């Protein structure tokens, strides 16, 4: 954990500069992507269609690296307002549902009544989406992902439970290290972003994993302390 924090700190310094560059790189990328998209369907290029698709996919991947890096390196102050996490989950559920359907997977929600918390809604949305996306990416068609909220003592807990392949014990302590990924097309930034968001929203992340799946628990600070 300390290692993770240290590398997040380092990234924050480099990040200020890189964030600026990231923004600037996006504009030319958008231009290139636009032309690729235009030429992809031209008759004279039709036999290169797969190559065009690959180029566009790779640009999109570069773009998501920048997006995730920007949110990791951002120095925008956190915007905490009283929010109900259930409402945030419900708000983005259609998006998650569509993602599940596309991948022939099932999403279930089990939201129990929880107290409002001081949260940065935009960040919590990103946190949930990152966790859910990892869940989907770990699962095969037909599997189920569950999003739960519940109270554990005085803590509000959000849990994302997947029926994926699980996380190998030997990589568990690398999780959250920026750019660590086991995926061919991964950015390795999703969980780093999540750890940063959790910290800013007074939450901690715990992982339970095994061969039949993974559950990520996000535990928000004991609300009794805020009264
Ligand atoms: P990325 O998804 O781009 O690889 P992340 O930071 O989101 O980057 O995740 C880092 C790594 O953690 C993944 O490559 C994967 O090995 C592992 N991981 C994260 N969530 C899960 C999950 N729900 N099930 C299995 N492995 C996971
Ligand atoms: Mg991810």
pLDDT tens per residue, range 105-134: 999 999 999 999 999 999 999 999 999 999
Contact assessment for residue 187 and residue 61, using Cβ atoms and an 8 Å cutoff: yes
Summarize pLDDT for 146-187 with one digit per residue, the tens. Answer: 999 999 998 999 999 999 999 999 999 999 898 899 998 888
Can you give the pLDDT at residue 68?
83
Label residue 213 exposed, middle or buried (CB < 10 Å: 0-12, 13-18, 19+): buried
Question: Three-state DSSP class for 119?
Answer: strand
Pocket of ligand 1 contains residue 68 by CB under 6 Å: no
Residue 102: pLDDT over 60? yes
CA of residue 11 to ligand 2 center, whole Å: 18
Residue 226: pLDDT over 80? no
Q: What ligand is nearest to the CA atom of residue 164?
A: 1
**Residue 211 phi, psi (nearest 5):** -60, -20
Q: Which atom of ligand 1 is nearest to the CA of 165?
A: 25
Q: Which atom of ligand 1 is nearest to the CA of 216?
A: 23
Is 7 or 51 the better-scoring residue by pLDDT? 51
Mean pLDDT of 81-94: 96
The confidence band for 192, taking pLDDT boundaries of 50, 70 and 90, is: very high
Can you give the pLDDT at residue 5?
65
Summarize pLDDT for 19-56 with one digit per residue, the tens. Answer: 778 888 988 999 999 999 999 999 999 999 999 999 99
Pocket of ligand 1 contains residue 178 by CB under 6 Å: no
Which of 132, 191, 207, 210 has the most ligand 1 atoms within 8 A of CB, as the residue to mutate? 191
Nearest to 121, CA basis, from 156, 146, 97, 85: 85
Question: Three-state DSSP class for 163?
Answer: coil
Residue 83: pLDDT over 60? yes
Contact assessment for residue 190 and residue 176, using Cβ atoms and an 8 Å cutoff: no
What are the residues whose beta carbons fall under 8 Å from the beta carbon of 49, sequence distance 6 or more?
40, 41
Strand-pair category, 155-162 with 117-119 = unpaired
Can you give the pLDDT at residue 74?
67
């Amino acid at each position: 954990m300390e290692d993770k924090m240290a590398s997040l700190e380092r990234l924050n310094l480099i990040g200020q500069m890189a964030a600026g560059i990231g923004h600037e790189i996006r504009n030319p990328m958008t231009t290139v992507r636009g032309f690729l998209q235009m030429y992809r369907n031209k008759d004279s290029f039709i036999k290169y269609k797969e190559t065009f698709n690959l180029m566009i996919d790779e640009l999109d991947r570069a773009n998501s690296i920048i997006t995730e890096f920007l949110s990791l390196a951002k120095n925008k102050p956190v915007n905490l307002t009283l929010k109900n996490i259930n409402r945030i989950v419900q708000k983005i559920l259609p998006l998650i549902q569509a993602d599940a359907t596309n991948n022939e997977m099932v999403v279930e929600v089990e939201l129990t009544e929880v107290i409002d918390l001081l949260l940065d809604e935009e960040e919590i949305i990103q946190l949930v989406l990152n966790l859910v996306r990892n869940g989907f990416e770990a699962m095969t068609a037909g599997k189920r992902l569950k999003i739960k909220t519940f109270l554990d003592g005085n803590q509000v807990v959000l849990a994302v439970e997947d029926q994926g392949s699980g996380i190998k014990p030997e990589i568990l302590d690398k999780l959250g290290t920026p750019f660590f990924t086991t995926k061919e097309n991964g950015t390795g930034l999703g969980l780093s972003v999540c750890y940063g968001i959790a910290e800013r929203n007074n939450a901690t992340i715990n992982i339970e994993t095994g061969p039949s799946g993974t559950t990520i628990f996000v535990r928000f600070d004991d609300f009794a302390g805020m009264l």
